[in-house]
A and B are shown apart, each in its own frame.
Chain A
Amino acid sequence: MLKVEHLFKSYKTGRITYEVLKDVCFEVKEGEFAAVMGASGSGKTTMLNCISCFHPYDKGEITLNGICLSRLSEEEIAKVRNEQLGFVFQDFMLLDGLTVFENVCVPKVIRGEDYKLMEKKAGKLLRLFGIEHIADKYPAEISGGQKQRAAVARSLMNDPLAILADEPTGNLDSRSSEAVIQAFIEAKKTLGATTLMVTHDTFSASYCDRVIMMKDGKVHSELTNNGNRKAFLEDLLDVLRKLNGGENDDAA
């Protein structure tokens, strides 16, 4: 489904080049709920931005359902972002002037789709994530958790091949975080959604099928959830402790 092969990415500041991604390889399978974890500066957000086509990359390849993203034109990239990818951001990125319902409709509005299908789909997603009662509210009138669930609903509007979530629980309290993670799980179960989530939050990551650990711009290890969430959480914390040299645990 989503393949990242030998991805390299560097930034230049004056004469100094900082290598952020160094030969990153992994794959996310259809219907999988995967997470990328790592300490600050490990390159996880940069990698997500490369997959989202927000940043160009130096070397390597990213393919989405067999389509090579680097060979697409600006307009084709926009089309992929709109139709084949769904996005959930840490700061929600809901449009202040639109209601929750209208915000959820935005991807289809951009696509210029027939309003009847759009309204039907938006209603269905709002019900799925339990936020239909705030459909007419504006972002300023709802909680962070509700905003993020609206963002998850929005990301699913065009039935994307994959949802890319960048720290979706980063601005939320634990209760709201759980509600948002449940929304991802619900999307996976009901709609078969494929999700790649970048997170610092071990608790949220423990709900995933698989967690890719990154360190210094490389994939350090991968952990698979065998169905026991608590045990998986313990495993994640162990790996993170080792990853951080056992001295601190900022990912917990």
Chain B
Amino acid sequence: MTLLNVLNKLKKYNKGNYKQFSLCFSLSVLLVSALTFFMLSPFVQSRLPSGGDSRKMLYMVYAVAVTGCVLFTIYAAGLFLRFKSREVGILMALGTAKGRLSKTIMKEMLLLIGQLSVVSIFIGGMMAFGFGKLYEYLIQSAEGDGFRLSLPGLAGSVVFVLTVSVMIMGMTARFLKRANLIEILTEERRTEPIKKNVDGKYLVTGLILIALGILGGLIVPSIISTIFKRVLGSFTYVFYILVLIGLYKIMVYSVAVHKRGKNPQKYYKNLISFGMLKFQGVSVVRNMLISTLLLAGAFFAIFYSATNYIQGATIAASEDNDMSYRYLGDADRLTMQDVKSIAAAYGVEITDYREVEIARLLGSGVARENYDEEGMLTEEYREKDYYKNFISAGMFSEATGMEVKVEPGTYLYVNRRNNTENYWFLPEDLDMAENTDTGIKKGLIFAGTVEYSSFFYDRGQDGNASYILNDEDFAELKKGLSNKFQMTQVLFNVSDAGDTYAFSKELYARYCKSVPDSMRVMAAYDEYREGVDAGYDYGGLTTLYPKRPEIEVDWKYSPVFVPLLERSFVLTYATLLLIFVFVSVICLVSAGVIGYTRSITVAVKSKRVLMDVKKLGAGQEYLNRILKEQIKKIFVLPTAAATILMFIYYTMILWQNDGVISSNEYPMIGFNIAVCLIVVLYQYTLYCSSFRKSQMLVFGAGTAVMKKRRERDGERI
């Protein structure tokens, strides 16, 4: 019999430990590779909005999920090595050369990890493929680039596996290098008590640190930027570390401190379970913290995607016209007749067709783009800022049915319904408009804001801002304006009859094809600024996807078709939504598995003590209660902490955006509450099944043997 034979036999005997490690490792690799394959597929990449917050948030949440999986795998490897320590110790004590043993075990680990990795990446790839095909079917992609797995996806998965494998092999090597044989032998039974001088101060400082973290990371920067117009920079994220430390302190307190306090009877009731948990304190707290982070990641992913979704839905619902698009004066446009004939082909009736005349005049403004040496936002007045959109009051009233009056020399700013101001751009910044063809200038005074969504382009600022002028002022400024600085806004509604979605899709395609190159520019493009800001890259011609309106394009003249928004907005956000949901599922699964395996470890470690307590006369009900109390702790605090903190944090983010929780944000809060309840329910279900499994592990077999004996012994003891 060789050493390998002995180890193989031990492997068979300890298959439970191998199974647990294999499950955790495979799950982690499978989830990460599925996510990586999915995210890095060209099909999904082309549907992600380029730049912007969503992509940033997506990668951030992806990083959280991967970190969660790494931590989770390392934790599983640690547990596995701990279980293996006894057999390794005995073999070493009996004289097996450390080098030989190390070589054999390292080989065994490498083989195990290798096999698991290949299988998991394959299954992960298949999962991503299935998921991708489902996604492809859901968005009914009209063009031929179906979902496929990519090499970068495979490379990403392999990099993850290699990283985790190197870490595990490093842990194994370090474990085998230890010289103290007794330490190796007793590793499995090693207790990790929390130092005993933990007191109420831990709780208080924990709470203070959390409050400081949120204050420093979210509230203070928000207040400073609103009041002092000063951006503190990304260093404020460092404050979130305080939240983490605070959480750790609270968890340590919850595990280590059990005081007689004002209710001694309750104190004694939970005495044994607290005492038992305290002696596994360090690893329990570590696990609780990881679970909390993973749950927080899951919450953030769900909350963020839901916010995007609901905001998108709100935008579609707040449009004042079903269809809205623009042409520059010198462009060959689709005529009303063209539009009507396309509509007729789809059985759609066009109503309220209007064409609104807009003048693009060089307006003044205040640039708030730079910071001084002290981080203060600088304000630079520019007499010539951007070409801005101007409409006469009469034309606006006629087109919108909203009676507006503008005094000579004044203007109104057109804002989107329910849109809030930001300090980068203020409606009153404009005080001058100039016809650059004739050189006629006119001083203007801000007289208020009008809400009408169809004249709100992009973020409604700089070159995308729209203003209403007095009819005479408008006529004066427009006189002699060349075609290229004139613009026609087309607005109309569609009847409910017919296939409005297909019509909109077709119109989108025709519109994209009809626009001249002068209109294929990015949203931030401005003719004047292009001339003066030589260093700014406004890019080349914007790539349009005529047959894929669901793709978000950075395009100044992007049309707004409500039927498309309503029906394809789900598709527009589908990629983001699916990936965020995927990430949240990964976080939830990881948190669940960590909670479950920790429960099993606690149960195994508690078995001896529970049997001792049984010998002292504790009944089954009492023993169940002790076990339950311990397992409850593993689930309750992380769930409560992640749920409460993330709910408050996200609600504060909604509040922080504009200083109020607006009515269109109520559904988000309602949705977030529902998500919290679902996650709590998920954790509760896991807790119940962990408890049942632990109960079986600790009492199950013993009770069964006892029952059998009693039957055999004719109902004796």
Residues of A within 8 A of B (CB): 50, 52-58, 69-70, 72, 74-75, 77-83, 85, 87, 89, 93, 95-98, 102, 105-112, 114-115, 118-119, 138, 154, 158
Contact = CB atoms under 8 A, between A and B. Distances in A.
Contacts of A56: 706, 709-710, 713, 716-717
A74 B706 CA distance: 10
Contact of B612 (A77, A93, A111): A93
Nearest to A59: B716
B275 A95 contact: yes
A106 B272 contact: yes
Interface residues of B, number: 34
B616 A110 contact: yes
25 contacts: A54-B615, A56-B716, A57-B717, A74-B619, A74-B620, A78-B617, A78-B622, A79-B619, A80-B617, A81-B616, A82-B617, A95-B272, A95-B609, A96-B279, A97-B276, A97-B277, A98-B272, A98-B275, A107-B616, A107-B617, A109-B269, A109-B271, A109-B272, A110-B622, A115-B268
Nearest to B274: A97
Given A70-B717, A74-B620, A110-B622, A52 B615 contact: yes
A113 to B, nearest CB: 9
Interface string B568-611: 00000000000000000000000000000000000000000100
Contacts of B710: 56
Contacts of B193: 96-97
Q: Counting chain B CB atoms within 10 Å of each CB, which of A57, A96, A110, A112 scores highest? A: A110
B368 interface: no
Interface of B: 191, 193, 196, 264-265, 267-269, 271-272, 274-279, 609, 612-622, 706, 709-710, 713, 716-717
A116 B564 CA distance: 74
B269 A112 contact: yes
Contacts of A77: 717
Contact of A78 (B268, B271, B609, B618): B618
Contacts of A81: 615-617
A75 B619 contact: yes
Contacts of B269: 109, 112
B396 to A, nearest CB: 76
B195 to A, nearest CB: 12
Q: Is the interface of A mostly helix, strand, loop or mixed?
A: helix
A98 B271 contact: yes
Contacts of A83: 617
Given A56-B709, A115-B268, A154-B616, 20 more contacts: A52-B615, A56-B706, A57-B713, A58-B716, A70-B716, A78-B618, A80-B617, A81-B615, A82-B618, A85-B617, A93-B615, A93-B616, A96-B191, A97-B274, A97-B279, A106-B616, A108-B268, A109-B269, A110-B272, A115-B265
A96 B265 CA distance: 21
Contacts of B277: 97
Contacts of A138: 196
A110 B267 CA distance: 13
A169 B271 CA distance: 28
Contacts of A55: 717
Given A54-B615, A70-B717, A87-B615, A114 B275 contact: no
Contacts of B616: 81-82, 87, 93, 106-107, 110, 154
A106 B276 CA distance: 13
A214 B615 CA distance: 25
A135 to B, nearest CB: 13
B275 A53 contact: no
A77 B620 CA distance: 11
B272 A78 contact: no
- 8 closest A-B pairs by CB: A82-B617, A97-B275, A81-B617, A78-B619, A98-B275, A56-B717, A115-B264, A97-B278
A111 B621 CA distance: 12
Nearest to B621: A75
B717 A69 contact: yes
Nearest to A103: B275
A157 B288 CA distance: 36
Contacts of B713: 56-58
Contacts of A85: 617
Contacts of A108: 268
Nearest to A53: B717
A56 B715 CA distance: 10
Q: Counting chain A CB atoms within 10 Å of each CB, which of B191, B614, B615, B621 scores highest? A: B615
Contacts of A72: 717
B717 A96 contact: no
Contacts of B622: 78, 110
A110 B617 contact: yes
A81 B612 CA distance: 12
Given A53-B717, A70-B716, A82-B618, A105 B268 contact: yes
Contacts of B265: 114-115
